[in-house]
Amino acid sequence: MKLLYQLNAAFTALLIIIMSVTGFFMYSLIMDVLVTNEQKDLRVKGEFLLNVMYQEDYSARGPQLGRVIESNDLRVLVMDPDENQIMFSSLPPKTSRIWAKQFEDESEQKDLWKTDGNTYVVSKLRYDYRGERYLLALATPLEELQAIQSLYTMRLVAIFIIGIMVAVLFSYFLTKRLVTPLSRLKEEVNKIENRRFNEIQPVHATGEIGEVEQSVLDMAEELERYIHSQKHFFQNASHELKTPLMTIQGYAEGVKDGIFEGEKADRSLDLIVKESERLKKIVNEIILLAKLDSEEGIYHPENISIEKLLKETKERLHPLAAEKNVQIKIEVEEERELFVDEGKMLQALINIVSNGIRHAHHTVWLQSFERDGDVVLQIRDDGEGVPEDLLPQLFHRFVKGNEGETGLGLAISRAIIERSKGSIHVYNHQEGGAVFEIVM
């Protein structure tokens, strides 16, 4: 069953249960209210009858009393409780005697009396007349109140039915409005599942469904980028791995077949070793990238001094800087600490700074300062800068600039920095040179 019909069926069942329970209690309440009102009315009529009876003796006022009783459709019993003597009764003689005996035995007021299969609403009034105590009992058949109760109940049932129908229709339209975006969202998710990203259309939902829709669209966009990057990665990886393997294979076969002999064979073997090392480096960096993307246990953060981190980076790269005749200058605005994996963060900085050394003319600056509450590590060189067409994809895997080695160094640096809950950006300085900014 579709969600739309499930929700409406559940709402209808719940509404019917609530209405049924409410109707049951209201049915009983209607009778209680009718009985209470009838008793009050009987008391008023009883006081009126007492006024009539107080004027003269019962025998003298009998005809007038009978007309009053007849006009009000009352059952009246007047008796002397002390003598157990019936003074006046509009009830059948047998019923009068039963009531007289029942009233004599009952000390508490009761709402209903049952006699000969009939039920009456009763109200009793005690009064004194000429020094004698008397009891006036007035009664109305319960059938009259039950008829009124049935009338009210029928109207109540009709109102409930109409209310349920209106509520169910209103619920249907609301639920349809709620479920329709979900159904459309399901179709878009199916498109994502089948990787038909170019066919995805916005649902234009609101509220929480709109937030889910935006999350799904963001997920689809990210998944599309990921799949594209993976394809690009595998294409580049296969190319980067294929080149040294073909070189190694070609020279190895040449040496084996005797094509290269003597000095040529030695140079071939040196080239095989060099390409093997390059191949090993590529494989190790690919493995490291895979671990950074998936493994949690590879990263062990701790508090480390920024100045110490920058100084160690400088020491590690001193040979390369001396070879390129480049100076490395460190400027720390304020001593701070970072909560990072020292070894991994050092590797990220070495990759970035070594890149700057290869492209610098004279100097590479390592600076640390605070900006908008964040710690910024800035690596700047005085070289030619990064070509504008290369800036957007500089951190992608196997993207190599001038004098690049494997094209994985900056990708590894970005992965490490992002695992450290930071971000990295690159731009060209207005005075020349590239600027790498790590924001933590």
Structure tokens at 49: 């009858």
> Strand (E) positions, 75-159?
75-80, 85-89, 112-115, 118-129, 132-141
Q: Read off the pLDDT band of 232 (50, 70, 90).
A: low
The mean-pLDDT minimum among 235-244, 247-256, 284-293 falls in 235-244
> Strand (E) positions, 17-168?
75-80, 85-89, 112-115, 118-129, 132-141
Give the tens place of pLDDT for each residue, 345-368: 888 898 889 888 988 889 999 999
What is the rounded average pLDDT of the residues 236-265? Answer: 75
What pLDDT, on the 0 to 100 scale, is given for residue 108? Answer: 45
Q: Read off the pLDDT band of 57 (50, 70, 90).
A: low
What pLDDT, on the 0 to 100 scale, is given for residue 366? Answer: 93
Counted residue by residue, the chain has a size of 440
Rounded distance between C-alpha atoms, residue 216 and residue 191, angstroms: 11
Closest CA to 120 of 94, 150, 99: 99
CB crowding 288-299: b at 16 or more within 10 Å, else e: bbeebeeeeeee
Share of the chain above pLDDT 90, in %: 6
Average pLDDT over all residues of the chain: 78
Structure tokens at 54: 């107080």
Q: Read off the pLDDT band of 84 (50, 70, 90).
A: confident
Share of the chain above pLDDT 70, in %: 81
What is the rounded average pLDDT of the residues 317-337? Answer: 88
Strand bridging mode 363-371 / 374-381: antiparallel
Rounded distance between C-alpha atoms, residue 127 and residue 80, angstroms: 10
pLDDT at 131 over 80: no
- Gyration radius of the chain's alpha carbons: 50
What pLDDT, on the 0 to 100 scale, is given for residue 133? Answer: 77
pLDDT at 205 over 60: yes
pLDDT at 197 over 90: no
Structure tokens at 233: 């990665």
Report whether 126 contacts 133 (CB < 8 A): yes
Rounded distance between C-alpha atoms, residue 388 and residue 391, angstroms: 5
Rounded distance between C-alpha atoms, residue 308 and residue 335, angstroms: 10
Report whether 133 contacts 116 (CB < 8 A): no
Closest CA to 113 of 127, 123, 126, 104: 123
Q: Read off the pLDDT band of 107 (50, 70, 90).
A: very low
What pLDDT, on the 0 to 100 scale, is given for residue 343? Answer: 84
Report whether 30 contacts 152 (CB < 8 A): yes
What pLDDT, on the 0 to 100 scale, is given for residue 215? Answer: 80
pLDDT at 59 over 60: no
What pLDDT, on the 0 to 100 scale, is given for residue 401? Answer: 58
What pLDDT, on the 0 to 100 scale, is given for residue 363? Answer: 92
Helix axes 142-193, 207-256, angle to 10 degrees: 20
Supply angle C-alpha 252, 269, 399, rounded to 5: 85
Rounded distance between C-alpha atoms, residue 265 and residue 244, angstroms: 18
- Domains of the chain in start order, with CATH, are 3-148 (3.30.450.20), 207-294 (1.10.287.130), 302-439 (3.30.565.10)
More confident site: 44 or 72: 44
